[in-house]
Amino acid sequence: MPPEAPPVLEARGLVKRFGAVAAVNGVSLGVRAGQVLAILGPSGSGKSTLLRCLNFLEVPDAGEVRLEGAVVPPRDRALNALRARVGMVFQQFNLFPHLTVGENVALAPRVVRGQPRAAARAAARDLLARVGLADHFDRPPLQLSGGQQQRAAIARALAMEPAALLFDEPTSALDPELTGEVLEVMRALAAEGRTMVVVTHEVAFARAVAHEVLFLDAGQVVERGPAAAVIDAPATERARRFFGRPGGPAGRPAPRA
Amino acid sequence: MIGPDGQLAGRPAGPLARAPWWILALVLAAVMVVWKVATSELYADIFRTLLAGLGVTLAVTAVSFPLAVGLGLLAALGLLSPHPVRRNLALLYVQVARGVPILVQIFIMAFVVVPLGVALLHHAGPAGGALAALRPSAVSMGCRVVAALVFAYGAFEAETIRGGLTSLARGQAEAARALGLTHRQALRHVLLPQTFRRLLPTLGNDLISLLKDSSLVSVLGVRDITQQARLYASATFRETEALTMLACFYLALTLLLALAVRGLEQRYRRHAA
């Protein structure tokens, strides 16, 4: 990656307060084309809020977001343009229950990009086939399993041909069996060079797929670096405790090095 | 002990206790009415008289309801708006329209608002355009009553739709916006379709209420079925027969509507879940 290419998606000095609590407290991050950034951290550390600031589902109180080097001003038109180029996958899937699975995928290309109905539906069919849901095009989403719903939600995000994809704990609402099929799809996306920011509790997935890991605690980045370094050999006490490395959890005596 | 139906368990309900007797009673009544109309000249005469007003009753209802839902939708969006002027206007409207009896609203609309509006247009002169030439008498009592019903029911619909919109999971709006849909597109393609499906039973009830309240047009002399029955009764002193037939007309209409709404609901339910 030549150093002059700006990150696809970048945040500088993001702050988001809820009342007196700063859920995100001065976080900067960037993800380059074709890279996967994983955001890890304990519950309540601000991971999801940070991710939601990236597409302004939460409007940050301070800091800026840049898409392909250009600052995104917090105005409706610019935000809609940003969101149309940055896909998001939610913990609760959030498929539209009044539409078929196929229409869920075809809706945004049709409405936002003005694609003709037939073309949008054809593209949706291809995308659903790619996530293994070719036979579910005409079904109501609530008849699908959680894993299938999440894969459909990924197809829906892909339909806008996004420059980057945001995943907000995409497997946290799934049992282990269904988690596997969703992670498999995400692995395939990473392998084909999608730019992704993933908030997750799946440490093994982050270890295997992410190029960079942010470890967040109390709204601040505690550690950042290559996945292997942060997860296997955390530099801070807080991260060691989280990843269960020696020197960490209570009950396991910390060996003095 | 509470049974599966939520009732206190006591007497076991036998088939006789569970039979839908009320439907049987209605069917019997319907048979009697049909028989009376077929055999009695008096009832046939009343039936024809009321039939002449049926069009007005149905038209008032059919015109007022969609307009009321439209007005209610606008007001509901106002109630939910972050914009303080819009929100306060919507609140003011809803409170006023719900706080004044519909009958009083009909009188005010017919004898104050419409004449005043026409007079204002008149004074506006050429700015009023073609409407400046309008005379108060040109606005029929039917139109005035529809305007009043729309105003009154718009406020009910506003509250209903606001409740429906806020009961949708927040994730639905977020998912729509995250795809790049504008606020308006999200409402149109994602939020409102779900809201209206969910509100179908409530809207059905409101439609039935409106149909019944359309009888208020008779106070302005508009010849709906109520007015027709009153005229017939006062001309012939056959109050019992005319008013009974009138009640049968309303009952038949409301039962048909309730059935239609239930049919629609079931169709949507099969599509969802």
Facing residue for A111 by CB, picked from B169, B183, B189 = B189
Q: Which pLDDT band, with edges at 50, 70 and 90, does A254 fall under?
A: very low
The answer to the question of residue A256 being in a domain is: no
Longest distance between any two alpha carbons in chain A, whole Å: 66
Residue A122 lies in a domain: no
Residues contacting residue B246 through CB under 8 Å, at least 6 positions apart: B50, B225, B226, B229
Is residue A91 domain-resident? yes
Q: Domain limits of chain B?
A: 63-216
**Number of domains present in the structure of chain A:** 1
For chain B, the C-alpha Rg in angstroms (whole number) is 23
Residue A116 pLDDT exceeds 70: yes
| pLDDT above 80 (res B130) | no
CATH number at residue A33: 3.40.50.300
The pLDDT value given to residue B267: 82
Starting from the edge strand earliest in sequence, which strands make up the sheet with A9-18, in order? A21-31, A9-18, A62-67, A70-71
- Tell me how far apart the alpha carbons of residues B257 and B273 are, in angstroms, rounded to a whole number: 25
Interface contact B192, partner A, CB < 8 A? no
pLDDT at B8 over 80: no
Under the banding of pLDDT at 50, 70 and 90, the label for residue B75 is very high
The domain of A16 spans: 9-95+162-243
Query: Would an 8 Å CB–CB cutoff place A163 in contact with chain B?
Result: no
Is A21 inside any structural domain? yes
Chain A residues within 8 A of B171 when measuring between CB atoms:
90, 92, 94
Give the mutation candidate from B167, B179, B187 for the A interface (greatest A CB count, under 10 A): B179
The pLDDT of residue B269 is above 70: yes
**Least trusted range by pLDDT, from A26-35, A244-253, B4-13, B166-175:** A244-253
Looking at the domain assignment, is residue A200 inside a domain? yes
Q: Is the pLDDT of residue B1 over 70?
A: no
Is the CB of B130 inside 8 Å of chain A's CB atoms? Answer: no
pLDDT at A132: 93
What span, in angstroms and rounded, lies between the C-alpha atoms of A52 and A46?
A: 10
Confidence band for A120, pLDDT divided at 50, 70 and 90:
very high
Provide the 3-class DSSP secondary structure of residue A96: coil
User: Who's near B96: CB < 8 A, 6+ residues apart?
Assistant: B155
In a domain, A141, yes or no: no
Is the pLDDT at B13 greater than 80? The verdict is no
Asked if A143 and B273 come within 8 Å (Cβ–Cβ), the reply is: yes
Task: Judge whether B270 is closer than 8 Å to chain A, CB to CB.
Answer: no
Q: Kindly state whether A59 is in contact with chain B, defined as any CB-CB distance less than 8 angstroms.
A: no
Give the residue-averaged pLDDT of B67-91.
Answer: 95
> Domain for residue A114, yes or no?
no
B134-191 pLDDT, tens digit each = 666 777 888 899 999 999 999 999 999 999 999 998 899 999 999 999 999 999 999 9
pLDDT tens, residue by residue, B100-126 = 999 999 999 999 998 888 888 877 766
Q: What's the pLDDT tens digit per position in B205-240?
A: 999 999 999 999 999 989 999 999 999 999 999 888
CA distance A200 to A89: 12
Compare all CA atoms of chain A with the CA of B175 and give the residue at the minimum distance: A94
Q: Which of A80, A83, A98 sits opposite B197 (nearest CB)?
A: A98
Flag whether residue A90 sits within 8 Å of chain B, measured between CB atoms.
Answer: yes
Q: Is residue A77 part of a domain?
A: yes
**In this structure, is the dihedral angle defined by the CA atoms of residues A185, A188, A190 and A193, taken in order, positive or negative?**
negative
Total-model pTM: 0.83
β-strand pairing of A212-217 with A36-40 = parallel
User: Which ipTM value was assigned to this complex?
Assistant: 0.89
Confidence of residue B21 (pLDDT cuts 50, 70, 90): confident
Distances (CA, A) of A120 to A110, A113, A151, A161, A173: 6, 10, 18, 12, 29
Measured between CB atoms, does B172 come within 8 Å of chain A? yes
Give the model's confidence band at B30: pLDDT under 50 very low, under 70 low, under 90 confident, else very high: confident
Among A83, A95, A96, beta carbon nearest to B178:
A83
pLDDT of B272 higher than 70: no
Superfamily of domain B63-216, CATH level 4: MetI-like (1.10.3720.10)
Interchain contact, B180 vs A92, CB within 8 Å: no
**Confidence bin at B129 (pLDDT 50/70/90):** low
